[in-house]
Structure 1
Amino acid sequence: MALTDSGRVEAFSDGVLAIAITLLVLDLRVPARDDLHGASLASALSHQWPAYAAYLVSFLTIGIMWVNHHAMFTQVRQVDRPVLFANLALLLAVSFLPFPTHLLAEYLTADGRDAHTAAAVYSATMLAVGLAFSVLWLAITRTAGLLHAHLDRAAGRAALRRFGVGSVAYAGTVALSFVNAYATLAVHGALALYYCFDQLATSGRAPVPEPGAE
């Protein structure tokens, strides 16, 4: 199986994540003077708070994911095809995130089922992102040959459990979406803060012998 240096994967991933996080700002619209209809600019800006809230949560999610993605790949020496495809699946989910962010910003304050539907689409996308990140971790740690240092199974499972807590919570937000869209967005903000903490195992590693070493 062909192996390649992880640097190209990191560079490509950084580019995709940078584009996705930049596209989020397109939802922040400057109110046109002709649309004020006698209202103040401050009032018009305040009415756009759903866009600001959705932007902030999605920005934090992608930004913190970039930090954790970087931390993950500092442990990786080389990658194979399963890792490449797992990483592509993660980037697919992340690059889609600007769409449900815009959807939620537009319909968060809507009446009836529309707000719930928008929140559910947003939550389902976040769930896909969380699951894809866990799959990437599994692909990377399934063989010691891809890592700079050996990661024992207990440490690998501990990190996976920490990822899994977030994924279970994301699944819960899909159900919460049909109860309260505002609470759903708040929970997503809390989950972004949860992932601020290092989810990767930091112990249980031993140096991997170089090929041919005794």
Structure 2
Amino acid sequence: MDKETARIEAFSDGVFAIAITLLVLELKIPHESDVGEVALSTLLLRQWPAYVSFVISFAFIGIMWINHHRLFNHIKRADNTLMILNLLLLMGVTAVPFPTAILSQHLGHFDDRLAVLVFNGTYVVIAIVFNVLWRYAVHEGRLLGHDADLTTIEHITKQYAFGPLLYLASFGLAWINVAASLALSFGLAIFFALPPHVAARHKREG
């Protein structure tokens, strides 16, 4: 990398890598003493909340890394405000293993609604910071390259604008149906994995 944002991108990649790796810590190996009393298959199946939490959070962090890379393909310059906003974003990313652990331990229990609210609430905050970072960078072309494709920039801005609203909808849905809320969160990860122009086309067709 030979642009101003090189160190920001390298540091961010490291943070994303560590955060996504920490998620696997919630997948526990059954104790040998327990296996003697209960079938291994049963013990593994009992961990289904951890599997669900892991998959959703892995998808979320992974797709966010893809989008972070996508943004910095267009952001060519850096200033103090951008670095602070990026640090706030990374703070949210590093926090994801915490609500993931809460969800894995409480999903399927009487208090799982609160666990899902904490889980999705974290995503709402991250989505807001992500949008603020992008909008700050693109405002009047502040930090974009001189050869920036304005059509692509517009598609990205429109796609990301739905992030906070959709994650907020997922947050609210948890009050009604926990399973539907988690399904929507996973679906949003798939949506934001789409290239901006594809997402825009699907939205128009819908």
Same fold? TM cut 0.5: yes
Q: Which 4+ stretches in 1 moved above 3 angstroms? A: 154-158
Sequence identity percentage: 35
Cα pair distance change 1:145/1:200, threshold 3 Å: farther
The CA distance in 2 between the partners of 1:69 and 1:45, in whole Å, is 34
Deviations 1:73-113 (A, max 9, x none): 011221111111111111111110000011011111101xx
Alpha-carbon distance, 1:12 to partner: 0.6
| Matched-pair contact (CA < 8 Å) for 1:20–1:94 | yes
The CA distance in 2 between the partners of 1:77 and 1:66, in whole Å, is 17
The CA distance in 2 between the partners of 1:76 and 1:46, in whole Å, is 45
Consecutive unaligned residues in structure 1, runs of 5 or more: 202-214
Cα pair distance change 1:158/1:62, threshold 3 Å: same
**Structure 1 vs Structure 2 CA RMSD:** 1.9
Partner of 2:203: none
Partner of 1:13: 12
Partner of 1:174: 171
AA partner of residue 122 (structure 1): F
Q: Secondary structure at the match of 1:165?
A: helix
The CA distance in 2 between the partners of 1:145 and 1:157, in whole Å, is 15
Alpha-carbon distance, 1:144 to partner: 2.5
Deviations 1:120-139 (A, max 9, x none): 00010011111111111112
Partner of 2:123: 126
Deviations 1:30-88 (A, max 9, x none): 01022246221011101101101110111011111111111110112211111111111
Consecutive unaligned residues in structure 2, runs of 5 or more: 199-206
Alpha-carbon distance, 1:195 to partner: 0.8
| Matched-pair contact (CA < 8 Å) for 1:141–1:151 | no
AA partner of residue 62 (structure 2): G
Partner of 1:188: 185
Bigger share in helix: 2
Alpha-carbon distance, 1:161 to partner: 2.4
The CA distance in 2 between the partners of 1:76 and 1:51, in whole Å, is 36
Q: TM-score, normalised by structure 2?
A: 0.88
Larger Rg: 1
